[in-house]
């Protein structure tokens, strides 16, 4: 069976297809809180400086409990 631990670190990347900052601002506006009038990026994307993840593999199944941005 496949068992072990690992980690990944990605620097200066982005997720394409969703602008997280815009979506949080939009949800806040829908809840009646202040709106900073942030425009969604085109195409939608979320940039990050660093993304790290730690994971365990037990019997060939990957468990990813620790994801940090």
DSSP 9-25: EEEEEEEES--HHHHHH
pLDDT in the model for residue 26: 86
Tokens of 8: 């990944």
pLDDT in tens, 39-60: 888 999 999 999 888 888 999 8
How large is the C-alpha radius of gyration of the chain? 17
Give the mean model confidence (pLDDT) for residues 15-37: 83
Q: The whole model's pTM is what?
A: 0.58
Helix-, strand-, coil-residue percentages of the chain, each rounded to 5: 15, 50, 35
Pick from 19-23, 27-31, 62-66: least confident: 62-66
- Residue 63 pLDDT > 90, yes or no? no
Q: How many helices and strands, by DSSP H and E, does the chain display?
A: 1, 3
- Predicted local confidence at residue 11, as pLDDT: 96
């Amino acid at each position: 069976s496949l068992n072990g631990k690992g980690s990944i670190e990605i620097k200066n990347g982005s997720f394409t297809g969703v602008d997280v900052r815009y979506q949080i601002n939009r949800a806040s506006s829908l809840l009646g809180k202040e709106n900073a009038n942030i425009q969604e990026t085109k195409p939608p994307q979320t940039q990050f400086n660093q993304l790290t993840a730690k994971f365990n593999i037990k019997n060939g199944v990957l468990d990813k409990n620790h994801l940090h941005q």
